[in-house]
Amino acid sequence: MGYRDIYQAWKDDPEGFWIEAAEAIDWDRKPTKALDSSKAPLYEWFPDGMVNTCWNAVDRHVANGRGRQTAILYDSPITGAKATVSYAELKDKVASLAGALARQGVTKGDRVIIYMPMIPEALVAMLACARLGAIHS
């Protein structure tokens, strides 16, 4: 299926196209609707679906045997620092920080401010929040 076919499929049935595309990720609760436009111009994608971003970004790759593959390739043009982090390493780091946040009382729906430069640890912090269901900014 080429670009034109994909584009035509979207034009012919946008709702069906996005529901089918949503099959590419793991859902805790699969959506039955792709787009809620009832409050336009504020739109809500997959309003009845529920997904864990951390599972989709990290854990499922480890579960599917890709733990040794590179998840993060860090190359700072400013500091010259370079690093790679595998999915398995990332999962361990995220779980560790999520545990620390949970011990501090962070739970689903809480807000967490992350004030860090764009380094691998910032991604770990974001994913740790997602693992707990906390909202990060």
pLDDT at 1 over 90: no
pLDDT digits (tens, 9 = 90+) for 83-119: 999 999 999 999 999 999 999 999 999 999 999 999 9
Do 36 and 43 form a contact (C-beta atoms < 8 A)? yes
Q: Say if residue 50's pLDDT is above 90.
A: yes
pTM score: 0.85
The average pLDDT across 72-82 equals 96
Distance CA 88, CA 61 (A): 8
Within 8 A by CB and 6+ apart from 85, the residues are 70, 71, 72, 74, 93, 120
For 77, the token pair is 């043009």
What percentage of residues in the chain have a pLDDT greater than 70?
A: 100
Q: What angle do CA 78, 81, 87 make, to 5 degrees?
A: 125
Q: According to DSSP H, which parts of the chain are helical?
A: 3-12, 14-21, 53-54, 60-63, 87-103, 120-132
The pLDDT assigned to 76 comes to 95
pLDDT over 90, % of the chain: 99
For the chain, which residues make up each domain, given as ranges?
Answer: 1-51, 52-137
Rounded Cα–Cα distance for residues 90 and 73 (Å): 12
Task: Indicate the pLDDT class of residue 123, thresholds 50, 70 and 90.
Answer: very high
Distance, CA of 118 to CA of 120 (rounded, Å)? 7
- Taking residues 121-128, report their average pLDDT: 98
CATH topology (fold) of 52-137: Rossmann fold (3.40.50)
Sign of CA dihedral 3, 9, 15, 20: negative
